[in-house]
Amino acid sequence: MTFQLSTWLKGSALILSLTVSSVASAAGGNVELESPRIDQSNEKSLQRGAKVFANYCMGCHSADYHRYGRLARDLGLTDEDVSENLIFTTDKDGAPTKIGSLMEITMTEDYARASFGVVPPNLALTARSRGVDWIYSYLKGFYLDPERGGVGVNNTVYPGAAMPHVLWDLQGWRKAIYEEVDGAKVITGFEQVTEGSLTPAEYDKTIADLTNFMAYLADPIKTTRHRIGTWVLAFLFVLLAISYFLKKEYWRDVT
């Protein structure tokens, strides 16, 4: 019995540790995530992020829980601004996608599966499922990896990702610098192989805007909620003051 119990305990400990380690590796190759500056009330940042998203991401990823018209209203843009600068897709009949449409893409799932092995996920809610730090670090984490056929790149945050480094023209190509730590190959830094059109600081700012935009997509009413919350708190304070003086008035003759 004792033997069985200890075996059982060891077994469960093993299962537990396996689960923990698989969660850790699923969360990304043990790298420290960086935090971008996220400010959903910064319309200019959201507009810049939307532009990068429409230009660089919507070739493969949809965000079809969201409509373009809503985007225009929330980002302080006119319908024409959005139609002319942010919509690059067409509908089934070949006509430009309308402002009232969902942010869908033209690439079919079969084509995506044939090209990448997986269908690029809808990015409308990714800022919630992965978190903004993950997305920001992921977009910073691409490096050349000759061992990976096909995309030819790897990612520090999401090792083995099937996504190519689509922002390479902005960031330039980088290769990893490895060091042996306890017999394992660990990435300790990066070396710039070719220059991108942006400096590293500009690149960080661009992907921070993009991440900010994705945070907006995942929670479009956040700023409205904060504004209403402030008014509700202000109202409660006023009510508190009125109630306090009312209470004093009622009890004046009693005490």
Q: Name residues whose C-beta falls within 8 Å of residue 201's C-beta, 6 or more positions apart in sequence.
A: none
Cβ-based nearer residue to ligand HEC, 79 or 122:
122
Q: Cβ(66)–Cβ(124) under 8 Å?
A: yes
Interacting span for ligand HEC (CB under 6 A) from 22-30, 31-39, 80-88, 160-168: 160-168
Cβ-based nearer residue to ligand HEC, 79 or 200:
200
Which of 121, 131, 159, 200 touches ligand HEC by CB under 6 A? 121
Which of 33, 124, 161, 218 touches ligand HEC by CB under 6 A? 161
Rounded Cα distance between 176 and 156, Å, is 10
Amino acid code (one letter) for 221: I
Rounded Cα distance between 208 and 48, Å, is 10
Which of 33, 38, 46, 60 touches ligand HEC by CB under 6 A? 60
**Within 138-157, which residues bind ligand HEC (CB under 6 A)?**
138-139
Does residue 118 interact with ligand HEC by CB under 6 A? yes
Does residue 162 interact with ligand HEC by CB under 6 A? yes
Q: Cβ of residue 66: shortest distance to ligand HEC, in angstroms?
A: 15
Rounded Cα distance between 170 and 84, Å, is 23
Amino acid code (one letter) for 62: S
Amino acid code (one letter) for 151: V
Site track 18-57 with ligand HEC (rule: CB under 6 A), x = hit: --------------------------------------xx
Rounded Cα distance between 245 and 240, Å, is 9
Two tokens at 212? 């900010």
Phi-psi domain of 177 (left: phi exceeds 0; alpha: psi -120 through 50; beta: other): beta
Does residue 120 interact with ligand HEC by CB under 6 A? yes
Two tokens at 179? 């060091």
Q: Which residues bind ligand HEC (CB under 6 A)?
A: 56-57, 59-61, 116, 118, 120-121, 123, 126, 129-130, 135, 138-139, 161-164, 166-167, 210
